[in-house]
């Protein structure tokens, strides 16, 4: 018999190169934290870089370089991939104790990333129009086509990075609060912020995708702090040991 049988796992042969090394939970958690920070580092500059195509009505009929917009779109792609990456990295950690919550977190992050990508495609469509048939002296009707694409991107921004963080915060914060592998004040920010962001998003939705500044600020702040504090904690210190103390009973 040429293969050595692993006695701890009956029926499974150990490969010739030695036992399979599985990723350590600590490394996965740190990777998830780094990817959370990447979402901040990519999404915030993207908002500034995309201002010309989002705010200038006649952008498609103007001449000039589109590099700024292309860089902003690329950062949105990075943001979308990092969103999915956070869930993939944290999946093996959360699924050990709360597989259903881990699956919900993974699914919601995939949806968020996919919706962001739809918005990116819309803005790249505006850039293509500007290059091929737009620019100075172009048919003014192109403005309506471009603004329609920008409007679609606006709704994807509301339903993607606007709505979905409240959903995935509900899943992940619930799991982390129960196991207390991070200080419970961090998942509490997520649990408090999730319904606030959901309510704020619904107000914007029924207001024709026009934000009310005060409502938006109240809805965004706790989720912003939740994701930032979680990313920093995981990237710097990783996960702690699960506690045996009962979690605070939430209503």
Q: What's residue 85's pLDDT?
A: 97
Q: What's residue 200's pLDDT?
A: 97
Query: Coil, strand or helix: which one is 246?
Result: coil
Sequence-distant (≥ 6) Cβ neighbours of residue 110 within 8 angstroms: 84, 87
Most confident of 7-11, 76-80, 95-99, 132-136: 76-80
Local structure of residue 13 (DSSP, 8 states): E
- Residue whose tokens read 């991107």: 153
What is the per-residue pLDDT across 29-55, written as a single tens digit (0 to 9) for each? 999 999 999 999 999 999 999 999 999
- Listing DSSP states for 33-95 in one string gives HHHHHHHHHHHHHHHHHTHHHHH-TTGGG--S--HHHHHHHHHHHHHHHHHHHHHHHHHHHHT
Q: What's residue 24's pLDDT?
A: 62
Q: Which long-range contacts (CB under 8 A, 24 or more apart) does 217-224 make?
A: 219/193, 221/193, 222/189, 222/190, 222/192, 222/193, 222/196, 222/197, 223/165, 223/166, 223/169, 223/189, 223/190, 223/193, 223/194, 223/196, 223/197
Whether 231 contacts 40, CB under 8 Å: yes
Query: Coil, strand or helix: which one is 5?
Result: strand
Q: What is the mean pLDDT of the chain?
A: 87
Identify the band that residue 139 occupies on the pLDDT scale cut at 50, 70 and 90: confident
Residue 8 has pLDDT above 70, yes or no: no
Bridge partners for 13 per DSSP: 5
Nearest by Cα to 247 from 197, 185, 190: 185
Provide φ and ψ at 13, rounded to 5°.
-85, 135
Whether 186 contacts 226, CB under 8 Å: yes
**Whole-prediction pTM value?**
0.84
Sequence-distant (≥ 6) Cβ neighbours of residue 181 within 8 angstroms: 93, 239, 240, 241, 242
Residue 126 has pLDDT above 80, yes or no: yes
Q: What's residue 137's pLDDT?
A: 67
Distance of alpha carbon 232 from alpha carbon 234, whole angstroms: 6
Q: What's residue 26's pLDDT?
A: 81
What is the per-residue pLDDT across 173-226, written as a single tens digit (0 to 9) for each? 999 999 888 999 999 999 999 999 999 999 999 999 999 999 999 999 999 999
What distance lies between CA 194 and its chain's CA centroid?
Answer: 14
What is the per-residue pLDDT across 65-102, written as a single tens digit (0 to 9) for each? 899 999 999 999 999 999 999 999 999 999 999 999 99
Q: What's residue 10's pLDDT?
A: 43
């Amino acid at each position: 018999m040429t293969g050595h049988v692993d006695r701890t796992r009956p029926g499974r042969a150990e490969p010739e190169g030695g036992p399979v090394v599985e990723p350590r939970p600590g490394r996965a958690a740190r990777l998830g934290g780094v990817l959370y920070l990447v979402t901040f580092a990519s999404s915030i500059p993207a908002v500034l870089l995309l201002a010309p195509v989002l705010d200038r009505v006649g952008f498609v009929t103007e001449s000039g370089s589109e590099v700024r917009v292309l860089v902003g779109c690329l950062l949105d792609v990075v943001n979308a991939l990092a969103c999915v990456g956070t869930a993939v990295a944290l999946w093996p950690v959360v699924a050990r104790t709360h597989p259903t919550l881990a699956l919900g977190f993974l699914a919601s992050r995939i949806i968020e990333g996919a919706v962001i990508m739809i918005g990116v495609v819309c803005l790249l469509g505006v850039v293509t129009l500007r290059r091929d048939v737009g620019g100075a002296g172009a048919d003014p009707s192109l403005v309506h086509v471009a603004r329609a694409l920008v409007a679609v991107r606006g709704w994807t921004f509301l339903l993607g990075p606007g709505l979905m963080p409240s959903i995935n915060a509900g899943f992940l914060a619930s799991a982390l609060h129960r196991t207390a592998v991070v200080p419970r004040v961090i998942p509490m920010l997520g649990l408090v912020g999730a319904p606030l962001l959901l309510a704020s998003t619904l107000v914007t939705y029924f207001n024709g995708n026009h934000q009310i500044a005060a409502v938006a600020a109240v809805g965004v702040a706790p989720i912003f702090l939740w994701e930032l504090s979680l990313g920093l904690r995981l990237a710097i210190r990783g996960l702690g040991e699960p506690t045996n103390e009962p979690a605070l009973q939430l209503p």
